């Protein structure tokens, strides 16, 4: 009898404790694991909506704007999810090595420094007992919940737009061959072509595009003049680069440049699109002369002028388009898809953590993302990732904590070492331009992996872009005899 009573008491005690724990958890709210599960579910829904929208030809600016907002929140969500997951891996590793539970930022992990607050502030709680980590996760969840909740009408209207005729591709193949993250900017330029100045006897419009080096100005305008709708609107499309300006100046419509497209029709007035790509500024007198010449030869003239300098804004007849580098959340999404392709990053947590670190160091460079991702995806494992990271750190050691490409010159080369053979080489600008059938056979990829043996100075192909304007990025390299030779040469000179 005593045994039965003891068993009943034990069972009642067990149930009481379980009930108390369950009620406590309900009062406390969802755990971080539950929130991460909710985030993954919301991100999947966002991806489905976005992929369906990208299959259709959307003409409404309001629908396009709403789609762009959803994209931004999706990028932020994936960045948050991946950051928390890689942080969790580092936390477990630190515990295995007896490191204090307080979060200590890695010297070489700027990705974590950007996402999390530094030092113990990361785990500090506010007056409500909520940490920075919990706040960030909850904010992302709230934003995604709100924007997806408003998508019911969006999905209904979406079905009214026609499908684009293209083969279905995996996302990594699309990003490898298409412009990324500039849909709103493309729409802005297309709207510019539709504008007509009612106060002028001629349709003249100038759109300045200003942005830092590597932001993708040339890529954006190349996608513009390759668009069939643009070619149908203009009878002549002329491209003028900085080299054309240096050789022939800019005074008349016929000076320099390349006629990319010309449609001869006696029944139509000439409508000209001029695209002028500058590194810096342009002389105001030359600009006025060119504008006068252009308006004399055509009934309608649209000019897109790009530069790194804000000074070209004064030449615009409409508000300038400011082209900034991608936000880090969008850039990480781009970099991750290029690096891992169809592979699941969760299968390689150490490599994913290193990829986030390297991505942050690439500083928003599209060229850097394409080149570095090609190095990483050659062998998707942690050991290879550490070798690539070590080589990239050497490139950036004495200049800046980023891996982004910068301008080099004859007196200020950059230095690197091969991943396989540990040999050092100097990188100089390539003084020549080559036709497509004459570009160097040796690639920077081959050189860094030591698959080719070269001596003295030679040209290498760093990257061949597969999207307009299909630019070839080339350098001149010189092998150095030893590390000591390299260190002596590098004294007082900057590395990548």
Flag whether 254 is in a domain. yes
Chain centre to alpha carbon of residue 408 = 22
Percentage of residues in the chain having pLDDT higher than 70? 66
The helix (run of H) or strand (run of E) holding residue 32 is: helix 32-53
Helix (H, G, I), strand (E, B) or coil at 476: strand
Alpha carbon distance 204, 302 (integer Å): 6
Helix (H, G, I), strand (E, B) or coil at 276: strand
Flag whether 257 is in a domain. yes
Q: Do residue 452 and residue 472 come from a single domain?
A: yes
Length of the chain counted residue by residue: 496
Q: Do residue 255 and residue 273 come from a single domain?
A: yes
The helix (run of H) or strand (run of E) holding residue 462 is: strand 457-464
Flag whether 283 is in a domain. yes
Percentage of residues in the chain having pLDDT higher than 90? 14
Alpha carbon distance 138, 5 (integer Å): 47
Domain holding 376, by residue range, is: 328-490
Q: Do residue 344 and residue 485 come from a single domain?
A: yes
Quick check: bond before 61 cis, omega within 30? no
Q: Do residue 333 and residue 481 come from a single domain?
A: yes
Flag whether 165 is in a domain. no
Torsion 198-204-210-216 (CA) sign: positive
Alpha carbon distance 63, 154 (integer Å): 7
Residue 18, Cβ density class (10 Å: 0-12 exposed, 13-18 middle, ≥19 buried): exposed
Q: Are 406 and 412 in contact (CB under 8 A)?
A: no
Structure tokens of 200?
């002028």
The helix (run of H) or strand (run of E) holding residue 340 is: helix 328-340
Closest of 326, 350, 351 to residue 341, by C-alpha: 351
Helix (H, G, I), strand (E, B) or coil at 9: helix
Q: 290, 305, 322: which is the final residue of a domain?
A: 322
Q: Are 83 and 36 in contact (CB under 8 A)?
A: no
Indicate the number of domains in the chain: 3
Alpha carbon distance 448, 395 (integer Å): 12
Alpha carbon distance 259, 278 (integer Å): 17
Q: Do residue 403 and residue 483 come from a single domain?
A: yes
Q: 322, 357, 374: which is the final residue of a domain?
A: 322
Chain centre to alpha carbon of residue 45 = 23
Alpha carbon distance 190, 429 (integer Å): 36
Q: What is the pLDDT of residues 402-433, one digit of tens each?
A: 444 444 455 567 777 777 677 778 888 775 55
Average pLDDT, the chain: 75
Alpha carbon distance 49, 171 (integer Å): 14
Specify the pairing of strand 300-307 against strand 271-277. Answer: parallel
Q: Do residue 232 and residue 246 come from a single domain?
A: yes
Helix (H, G, I), strand (E, B) or coil at 117: coil
Alpha carbon distance 148, 50 (integer Å): 11
Q: What is the pLDDT of residue 74?
A: 95
Q: 260, 289, 322: which is the final residue of a domain?
A: 322
Structure tokens of 305?
């002028």
Count of H helices and E strands in the chain? 18, 10
Alpha carbon distance 327, 332 (integer Å): 9
Q: Do residue 249 and residue 295 come from a single domain?
A: yes
Flag whether 186 is in a domain. no
Alpha carbon distance 80, 115 (integer Å): 8
Q: Are 443 and 481 in contact (CB under 8 A)?
A: no
Flag whether 413 is in a domain. yes
Q: Do residue 313 and residue 332 come from a single domain?
A: no
Q: Do residue 109 and residue 226 come from a single domain?
A: no
Flag whether 176 is in a domain. no
- The set of residues, in sequence order, having a beta carbon less than 8 Å from that of 67 and lying 6+ positions away, is 50, 53, 58, 154, 183
- List strand residue ranges (DSSP E) for 300-440, in order: 300-307, 321-322, 414-417, 424-429
Flag whether 310 is in a domain. yes
Partners of 463 in the beta sheet?
A: 473
- Supply the CATH number for residue 264's domain: 3.40.50
Q: Write out residues in the chain with pLDDT < 70, as ranges.
A: 1-11, 13-30, 88-131, 165-177, 196-203, 243-268, 297, 394-412, 420, 431-437, 481-496
Q: What is the pLDDT of residue 306?
A: 93
Partners of 259 in the beta sheet?
A: 238
Torsion 62-64-69-74 (CA) sign: positive
Q: What is the pLDDT of residue 172?
A: 54
Q: What is the pLDDT of residue 449?
A: 79
Alpha carbon distance 411, 428 (integer Å): 9
Q: Do residue 340 and residue 239 come from a single domain?
A: no
How many Cβ atoms from other residues are within 10 Å of residue 85's Cβ? 16
Q: Do residue 468 and residue 374 come from a single domain?
A: yes
């Amino acid at each position: 009898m005593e045994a039965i009573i003891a068993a009943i008491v034990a069972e009642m005690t067990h149930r009481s404790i379980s009930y108390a724990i369950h009620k406590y958890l309900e009062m406390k709210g969802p755990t971080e694991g539950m929130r991460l599960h909710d985030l993954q579910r919301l991100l999947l829904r966002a991806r489905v909506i976005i992929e369906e929208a990208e299959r259709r030809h959307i003409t409404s600016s309001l629908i396009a704007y709403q789609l762009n907002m959803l994209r931004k929140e999706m990028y932020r969500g994936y960045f948050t999810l991946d950051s928390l997951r890689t942080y969790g891996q580092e936390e477990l590793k630190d515990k295995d090595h007896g490191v204090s539970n307080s979060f200590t930022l890695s010297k070489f992990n700027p990705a974590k420094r950007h996402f999390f607050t530094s030092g113990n502030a990361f785990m500090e709680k506010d007056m409500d007992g909520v940490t920075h980590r919990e706040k960030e996760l909850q904010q992302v969840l709230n934003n995604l919940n709100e924007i997806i909740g408003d998508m019911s009408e969006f999905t209904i209207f979406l079905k009214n737009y026609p499908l684009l005729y293209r083969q279905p591709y995996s996302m990594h193949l699309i990003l490898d061959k298409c412009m990324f993250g500039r849909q709103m900017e493309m729409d802005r330029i297309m709207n510019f072509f539709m504008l007509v100045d009612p106060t002028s006897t001629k349709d003249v419009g100038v759109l300045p595009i200003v942005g830092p080096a590597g932001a993708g100005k040339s890529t954006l305008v190349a996608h513009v003049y390759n668009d069939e709708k643009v070619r149908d609107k203009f009878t002549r499309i002329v491209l003028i680069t900085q080299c054309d300006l240096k050789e022939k100046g800019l005074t008349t419509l016929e000076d320099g440049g390349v006629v990319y497209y010309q449609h001869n029709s006696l029944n139509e007035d000439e409508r000209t699109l001029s695209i002028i790509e500058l590194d810096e500024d342009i002389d105001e007198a030359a600009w006025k002369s060119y504008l006068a010449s252009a308006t004399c030869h055509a009934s309608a003239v649209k000019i897109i002028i790009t530069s790194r300098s804000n000074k070209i804004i004064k030449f615009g007849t409409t508000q300038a388009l400011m082209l900034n580098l991608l936000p880090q959340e969008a850039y990480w999404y781009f970099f991750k898809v290029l690096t891992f392709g169809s592979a699941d990053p969760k299968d390689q947590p150490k490599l994913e953590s290193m990829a986030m670190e390297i991505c942050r160091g690439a500083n928003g460079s599209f060229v850097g993302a394409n080149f570095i991702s090609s190095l990483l995806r050659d062998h998707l494992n942690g050991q290879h990732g550490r070798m690539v990271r070590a080589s990239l750190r050497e490139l950036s050691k004495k200049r800046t904590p980023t891996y982004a490409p910068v301008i080099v010159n004859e007196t200020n080369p950059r230095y690197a070492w091969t991943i396989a053979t540990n040999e050092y080489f100097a990188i100089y600008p390539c003084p020549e331009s080559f036709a497509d059938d004459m570009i160097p056979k040796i690639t920077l990829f081959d050189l860094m992996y030591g698959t080719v043996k070269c001596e003295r100075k030679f040209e290498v192909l760093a990257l061949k872009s597969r999207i307009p304007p299909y630019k070839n990025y080339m350098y001149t390299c010189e092998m150095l005899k030893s590390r000591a030779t390299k260190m002596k040469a590098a004294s007082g000179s900057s590395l990548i």
